[in-house]
Structure 1
Amino acid sequence: MSQRAGDATASAVTPVILTRALEKVYAAGSEAEVVALKGVDVRILPGEFVAIMGPSGSGKSTLMNLIGCLDTPTAGSYACDGVDVSTLDAEELAVLRRDKIGFVFQGFNLLPRMSALENVAMPMGYSNVPRIERLQRASAALAAVGLHNRGGHLPSELSGGQQQRVAIARALINRPPLLLADEPTGALDSKTGEEILALFKRLRDEGHTVVLITHDAEVAAHCDRVLVMKDGELHEGTLQEGLHPPQGGSA
């Protein structure tokens, strides 16, 4: 395929994430005003594995909250899998988060009194999926992350890596186009962290879009693209850039 044909094909694909001039200002107009994001443009296509990197205070957590529809921008636009989120009310936003975004956090966020199988099945409880189907799909999701024989175990009976695999299975259970992972290896030892990153790569190879928020260059090195946040601005960057704190004020 020619470069021009390849570019045309890529341009015809609906981005999973598309932001234009995205801004976020806290306490606008007051003495405590903080400009957290400054005109962020980002385009992430289906099947990409992207790291958003930057030191504490750079704005990457603010961007994650906007991409995850957990917060609203002060200005600019964001389309998630082709849906302009500014057109949605609170209930519609909740449905979009459920159907289009799978969240994976550093702290796993599993319910301690539920088994691994029940934790994975839980998001489908809001989708009117019959219980039998929920458990079948949850079992298949656990098998997909290598935990087919751990469904009956409580989180306290699982290792940290196994708990994070349960969290990934839960994030994928509604088959969302976007998997958003915030420091997903931060609570894990290096060997287990490598295993989780290998799992993300496999999910990428299967067509999932994975966006990983991190401050760790070794983690970001596993991704296909690195975007660097500095002082609330985002640009294509390098691992070395992401290691250095922003000059001047924080965002």
Structure 2
Amino acid sequence: MTMASVSDGNAVPVIRTRGLGKVYSPGSEAEVVALRDVDLTVMPGEFIAIMGPSGSGKSTLMNLVGCLDTPSTGQYLCNGVDVATLDAEALAALRRETIGFVFQGFHLLPRMSALDNVAMPLGYARVPPHERRDRARAALEAVGLGARVDHRPNELSGGQQQRVAIARALINHPPVLLADEPTGALDSRTGEEILALFKRLRDEGHTVVLITHDAHVAAHADRICVMRDGELHEASHAELLA
């Protein structure tokens, strides 16, 4: 059994997986075992990196933790709740209220301003329009883009676009941020700025789970796990950069 965990008194983990496994096309010639018996515990306020090469299973694990996919085996508890017991509506609410997603590709709508891109998730939460814009403006100010609220994505640098994407992920005040290769499309200096922003968000109480293939990016996290052939292993900073 592969395991990575941290203890923090009686606090409830925001993420806990037990024997998590994922098999695609089981029983067929195309069968792929993407995850094998993964145990992972993430406590509130942690900044953890999950590192591994392409095909190692790290994105599969993120999809399961983000409730975008379901495991073949094992159990996943989010804030102590077994997600397998939730119906579609409750699962959607969990994703909306508990987890913010940040991706390498930004996924901003090109015809919309930064403000409207950030405010968009609030429409699904049925927040009144005037409140959406106030909250979106505050979120952009929080990531250092208060002066760019009316700019469209093509008027922003890559780092600024990623900040807009992070502001959008924060708009519903989720306790957990899942970031999949968030610096992959950025130059090294801009990437460092985004990683510093994640550290600040951790200091403000967010839990940050960073998916990356880059050891130098992973080294910014407080704790590092490495995926190899669908298995999860704890790693030290010294081992990572050796």
With structure 1 as the length reference, what TM-score do the two structures score? 0.91
- Indicate how the Cα distance of structure 1 residues 108 and 176 shifts in structure 2: closer, same or farther if over 3 A, else same: same
1:243, distance to aligned residue in structure 2 (A)? 8.0
Write the letter of the residue equivalent to 2:177. Answer: L
1: distance between equivalents of 2:103 and 2:239?
24
State the partner residue of 1:194. Answer: 192
Task: Name whichever of 42-51 and 234-243 sits farther off.
Answer: 234-243
2: distance between equivalents of 1:180 and 1:98?
12
2: distance between equivalents of 1:99 and 1:241?
36
1:86, distance to aligned residue in structure 2 (A)? 0.1
Count of matched residue pairs: 237
1:163 matched to 2:161? The reply is: yes
1: distance between equivalents of 2:22 and 2:238?
26
Match runs of 1:1-251 below 5 Å: 10-238=8-236
2: distance between equivalents of 1:209 and 1:186?
20
Task: Name whichever of 163-172 and 55-64 sits farther off.
Answer: 55-64
1:197 partner SS: helix
Contact 2:216–2:241 under 8 Å retained in 1: no
Q: Deviations over 1:132-162 (max 9, x none)?
A: 1111111000000000011001011000000
Contact 2:18–2:37 under 8 Å retained in 1: yes
1: distance between equivalents of 2:29 and 2:106?
37
Contact 1:54–1:243 under 8 Å retained in 2: no
1:61, distance to aligned residue in structure 2 (A)? 0.9
Write the letter of the residue equivalent to 2:94. Answer: L
1:91, distance to aligned residue in structure 2 (A)? 2.2
1:239, distance to aligned residue in structure 2 (A)? 5.2
Write the letter of the residue equivalent to 2:230. Answer: G
Unaligned runs of at least 5 residues, structure 1: 1-6, 245-251
1: distance between equivalents of 2:142 and 2:83?
31
- Indicate how the Cα distance of structure 1 residues 65 and 241 shifts in structure 2: closer, same or farther if over 3 A, else same: farther
1:84, distance to aligned residue in structure 2 (A)? 1.2
1:238, distance to aligned residue in structure 2 (A)? 3.5
Write the letter of the residue equivalent to 1:196. Answer: I
Write out the 4+ residue segments of structure 1 that deviate beyond 2 Å after TM superposition.
238-244
State the partner residue of 1:247. Answer: none
Write the letter of the residue equivalent to 1:85. Answer: V
State the partner residue of 2:4. Answer: none
- Indicate how the Cα distance of structure 1 residues 36 and 52 shifts in structure 2: closer, same or farther if over 3 A, else same: same
2: distance between equivalents of 1:231 and 1:136?
45
1: distance between equivalents of 2:150 and 2:112?
9
1: distance between equivalents of 2:176 and 2:72?
23
The percentage of counterpart residues that share the same residue type is 75
Contact 1:229–1:242 under 8 Å retained in 2: no
1:149 partner SS: helix
1:14 partner SS: coil
1:242, distance to aligned residue in structure 2 (A)? 5.8
- RMSD, aligned α-carbons: 1.6
Q: Deviations over 1:155-189 (max 9, x none)?
A: 11000000000000000000011000000000000
With structure 2 as the length reference, what TM-score do the two structures score? 0.94
